[in-house]
Structure 1
């Protein structure tokens, strides 16, 4: 329960900040061009609001709604989420959105996306300034990588050190590295002191990301690093420094393979409705092998750790002014990666992988970690900016599309067309929201 509350609080805080900044972008440009803003709300307020306040001599009511699906800035003289069509039947007023030049209206509509992107760049810059950047370079991972069966069929071998993909250097183990490998035509690795080129077939990043065992992971030697008293390993007599040789008769050559076998054991036990598991383990100590039976706990753990390697860590620190170009590059690369991955959403597997609030909340850490919180907030700000600029009616991108049409064709779409387009867009977004959260429910049940 505590974990749920911590994640929920981080999600609400992050989304509230992003909504304020996004709607603040619309508000800023609207007021800059002397357009009246009737409402500025965090979250939606159908039927009632949790809080509302209208300052004296102000045209704007500020409030907090009860439906946490975003927020809105009700601008006079435009068809938006409020669907206030009665206002549009009246003669245009000079303070209304529809009375302003197309260029000004365009800036009002892209203001939210612009502010979200600027916010992400600023957060990334401040993360680098405050915490710097620490990572283990792939070239320093001297034990190389561990590959699954599909990767080995392509030509990779356990222990390969990843060097480059299509000539671009691979520097660190992360999602961008996986993407580079999957989309490359040729990957170069260091094997037994020699560079080898591996020709890549056409792969789906979505399929690779869902594989278990992982397509590629950091190789962990099959050596026990620590044993917790009272756990399964401790009861079986396993000690620090022992090497794992076989699991239920299957040879294991790395800690990665041991964890894979543990996962299979758990799945089989759960299918048989067992609350724990037992397996036979062969281990080696000082060149002498022995066989023991190991009992897991109710969480199918043996309370031991292994495969830890003291690799060299690369630490990079940034001065205040140095952090901004580095933060901008990090934000742009994040946007490029996310935009590139969007093509998978329009596949059957991609639709199944969509997630709602449960999925978004799960990306936040179980304990409060400010660095991780700001990293996730910056990433969500990138997503919000990208999703809102898509040319879908009811999103900012839909309004931008119609404004561009007006600029090119030199005539506005009719109010009736805009009304229908807004309704269709809202229906599509609602359906997407229901589907994404339905996926979350199904994952929770199964």
Structure 2
């Protein structure tokens, strides 16, 4: 049943996003008087269709995509028969380059708008979840080496920033505060109140290594929330509601302690002492994967706060949240290209995305992931790869700047190369998903 729910959420989310993406192309094309021959959600074979005016609207049997067929355009169909005749006024190739550019950007623009709208309504309807400094100070903070270098210590409780009270824990890492001259924290350390100054060059040191940006974090007690099927945790006997008391005779109270120990025990077997929800203690032998995990979701014992927003307030907040997805994508691609992150571990295909939705139907989670996918779809389609919208944008931009279009033969060959690249990427994504299914 969980697999069916995952699949249903994936297909519904992609159908909405692909349908809107292709609708963006269709509307822009019709606005400029281009003939749209076909609009399809899903790829052939066709399940059913209806013709309205000059356009056939259909649903394909392969739901992971869609397309519009615009007269006089070299697209993924590679139908070049029309190109052997003189351009007709209603054809894509007969229109000015700037109009063709807008048509190719139409899908991307609609996906961006969709993502922004989804996040605005999520913020408006459900507010913003955050940890207050009052809640964090129940257990204090933990810091990495950079945090220790400026004088913070794990267990400290931050009371003030530059002598002022504050509510949001994330203000502790706010660049505006860190860039101020003479900034300092007021902290409680073992019952003593002291000030910790921020060095003038701290923001520069913070940027040297992305890991430094999490130089201070909250300590959080935790229990096991849910265990992934067939994971090392599942095979070892870990269950929902378990509290992990120790790992290899090292006491565990906070999640960062647990993560640190597992990172040192990668590719080994550890002994865990856990207390079940019924109060019974058990000894477990659990394998640790090569990336230092065992396969469960933790449930924090910290209580988040929720801030509600008016609709006017939700607009800028939701817009920022939406574009932060693009920022994450850019950072992820940068790390992959630098070799700092493995592509096989970072990239997922349809199976991985379905698992991301999860096996229970949660509408808030569904729309959050759909909003994220909408922004990701816009970003991916803007990549300068032939057969993607971004490839067409590159060629049209060249035409606008140079005053002459690439030849039809060049466009046709580029489209074929792009299709091969996309096919290889799809095979890799599917294969990688299947490979992950059989990994511990």
The answer to whether the superposition gives a TM-score over 0.5 is yes
1:82 counterpart = 2:77: yes
Partner of 2:35: 36
Q: 1:248 to 1:80 in 2, by over 3 A?
A: closer
Counterpart in the other structure of 1:384: 377
**Superposed CA offset, 1:362-409 (max 9, x none):** 221331111111111111000011111122111111111111111111
TM-score, normalization by structure 2: 0.74
Give the 3 Å change call, closer, same or farther, for CA 256–204 of structure 1 in structure 2: closer
- With normalisation by structure 1, the TM-score equals 0.73
Indicate whether 1:93 and 2:88 are aligned: yes
User: Hey, what's the Cα distance between the residues in 1 that align with 2:78 and 2:244?
Assistant: 68
Aligned-partner Cα distance in 1 for 2:384–2:167: 34
From 416, 429, 434, give the equivalent of 1:423: 416
Q: How does 1:48-87 map to 2 (within 5 A)?
A: 48-55=45-52, 58-87=53-82
Which 5+ residue runs of structure 1 have no aligned equivalent? 226-241, 271-276, 282-291
* Other-structure match for 1:409: 402
Give the aligned partner of residue 289 of structure 1.
Answer: none
Deviation at 1:262, TM superposition (A): 8.2
1:359 shift after superposition: 1.8
Partner of residue 435 from structure 2, selected from 430, 442, 445:
442
RMSD of aligned residue pairs (Cα, Å):
4.3
DSSP-derived class of the 2:19 partner:
helix
Match of residue 235 from structure 1: none
Instruction: Give the Cα separation in 1 of the matches to 2:212 and 2:354.
Output: 23
**Alignment match, 1:238:** none
1:317-367 per-residue CA deviation (whole Å, 9 max, x = no partner) reads 223343223222322333333333331232443422211112212221331
CA shift at 1:256, angstroms? 4.5
Provide, for residues 153-172 of structure 1, a one-character-per-residue CA deviation record: whole Å limited to 9, x for no partner: 998642356899xxxx9956
In 1: Cα distance, 2:170 partner to 2:349 partner: 27
Residue 232 (structure 1) aligns with: none
Q: Could you say what secondary structure the match of 2:360 adopts?
A: coil
1:13 matched to 2:12: yes
Contact 2:35 2:54 survives alignment (8 Å): yes
Task: Tell whether the 8 Å contact from 1:49 to 1:66 is kept in structure 2 after alignment.
Answer: yes
Task: Return the alpha-carbon distance in structure 2 between the equivalents of residues 170 and 189 of structure 1.
Answer: 14
Match of 1:26 in 2: 25
**Cα offset, 1:43, TM superposition:** 1.4
Q: Distance in 1 between matches of 2:12 and 2:215?
A: 35
Gaps of 5+ in 2: 225-242, 289-293
Query: Any idea what SS the aligned residue of 2:357 has?
Result: coil
Post-superposition offset of 1:41: 0.5
Q: Compared with structure 1, are the counterparts of its residues 253 and 331 closer, same or farther at alpha carbon in structure 2 (3 Å cutoff)?
A: closer
Do structure 1's residue 128 and structure 2's residue 123 form an aligned pair? yes
Equivalent-residue separation in structure 2 for 1:400 and 1:371 (angstroms): 34
* Cross-structure match for 1:288: none
Structure 1 residue 316 displacement after superposition:
1.9
Instruction: Report the Cα distance in structure 2 between the residues aligned to 1:83 and 1:444, rounded to whole angstroms.
Output: 35
Q: Whole-Å Cα distance in 1 between the matches of residues 167 and 373 of structure 2?
A: 25
> 1:144 maps to what in 2?
140
Deviation at 1:293, TM superposition (A): 7.3
Is the 8 Å Cα contact of residues 248 and 280 (structure 1) preserved in structure 2? no
